[in-house]
């Protein structure tokens, strides 16, 4: 079907290529496995959504999820792996609540919408120093770490390694005088991470890990010991590091376990990183090959996960999105605050999906250029 043919929409009863920024696409084999297990899980006589969170069956799920994460990220026993609720947005407040003293200061590097939101929440707790920001160029770049104006007395440095809305990404994991805290939601497990400089890493599951409903938090024991006291019980990282305090989001954690196991079967983080680089290169090459499409981020700051671009004639973008959906290329609209086009290439997006998008782009340009 040509890009100009609007008469034959894709069959929505069959699985399409989902480029949504979140909840993002999941591995099809994981979905099928979960479907088969959903009525009765592992001879328990009940669904995984019905079993007790204190049962041996659930203990096994959570322990396996942690085991996979430790293996994928090469985590030693000094790292606590927490499964929390509230999304990354809860972490915007929980981090400073735990680690920003009333008379202290925290450094924040702002490279997009989510970093901006993190600053707003941190300022409810204490003083924030904007060590660097790319807001002046509409977050089309990432400030070089050598240019960050860091405070000597900062309790921590907060960064967002990948900005889902703006489509930029940091390429290095900084090691600084203060512990680094990062929102890694939209790139977690998509590339190897050097955790040497980090005190805490958090990631909402709904990008590369599983469905919405659980947030993975990695907190190093040395950093955990620095937290303030007293703290509200549920917002104290120590509560969750010590034991399972309340009913966890069982089904999302069950899915995280399966996705992490799938990722290990693909060869781990190094292997999926190679795939992700190929996918991103394929799409960026298509954007750069013509003036019809225009990337929104400087080449050295482009995200591997969230590719953002515009059409040279922005009035054509609604047509592009409509026809892309008819071709089974779903959820390509940019975030409502920035517009344009955004293709999220998370781990579970197959290379064939990116090839289909590039083919559509080429045909769309041929018929509308």
Angle between helices 268-288 and 250-265 (to 10 degrees): 80
Listed in sequence order, the residues at least 6 apart from 255 whose beta carbon sits closer than 8 Å to its beta carbon are 26, 30, 34, 205, 209, 210, 211
Distance CA(352)–CA(368), nearest Å, equals 24
Show the tokens assigned to 21: 């920024």
Distance CA(231)–CA(53), nearest Å, equals 25
Give me the count of residues in the chain.
Answer: 369
Cβ burial 317-331 (10 Å sphere, 16+ → b, else e): bebbbebbbbbbbbb
Contact in structure between 347 and 208 (CB atoms under 8 Å): yes
The residues assigned a catalytic role are 114, 183, 207
């Amino acid at each position: 079907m040509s890009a100009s043919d609007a008469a034959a929409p894709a069959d929505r009863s069959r699985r399409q290529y989902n480029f949504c920024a979140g909840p993002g696409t999941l591995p099809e084999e994981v979905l099928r496995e979960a479907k088969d297990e959903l009525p009765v899980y592992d001879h328990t006589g009940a669904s995984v959504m019905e079993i007790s969170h204190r049962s041996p069956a659930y203990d096994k799920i959570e322990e396996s999820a942690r085991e996979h994460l430790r293996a994928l990220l090469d985590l030693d026993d000094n790292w606590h792996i927490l499964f929390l609720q509230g999304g990354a947005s809860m972490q915007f407040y929980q981090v400073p609540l735990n680690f920003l003293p009333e008379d202290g200061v925290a450094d924040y590097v702002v490279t997009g919408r989510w970093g901006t939101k993190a600053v707003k929440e941190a300022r409810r707790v204490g003083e924030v120093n904007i060590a660097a920001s790319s807001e002046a160029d509409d977050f089309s770049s990432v400030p070089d770490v050598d240019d960050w104006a860091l405070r000597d007395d900062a309790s921590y440095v907060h960064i967002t390694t990948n900005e889902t809305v703006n489509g930029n990404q940091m390429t290095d994991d900084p090691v600084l005088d203060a512990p680094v805290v990062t929102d890694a939601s939209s790139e977690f497990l998509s590339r190897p991470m050097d955790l040497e400089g980090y005190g805490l890493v958090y990631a909402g599951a709904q990008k590369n890990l599983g469905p919405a409903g659980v947030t993975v938090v990695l907190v190093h024991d040395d950093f955990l010991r620095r937290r303030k006291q007293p703290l509200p019980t549920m917002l104290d990282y120590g509560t969750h590091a010590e034991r399972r305090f309340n009913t966890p989001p069982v089904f999302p954690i069950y899915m995280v376990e399966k996705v992490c196991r799938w990722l290990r079967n693909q060869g781990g983080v190094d292997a999926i990183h190679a795939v992700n680089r190929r996918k991103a290169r394929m799409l960026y090459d298509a954007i750069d090959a013509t003036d019809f499409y225009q990337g929104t981020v400087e080449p050295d700051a482009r995200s591997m996960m969230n590719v953002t671009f515009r059409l040279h004639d922005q009035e054509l973008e609604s047509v592009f999105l409509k026809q892309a959906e008819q071709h089974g290329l779903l959820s390509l609209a940019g975030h409502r605050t920035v517009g344009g086009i955004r293709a999220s290439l998370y781990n579970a997006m197959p290379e064939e999906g990116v090839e289909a998008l590039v083919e559509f782009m080429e045909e769309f340009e041929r018929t509308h250029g």
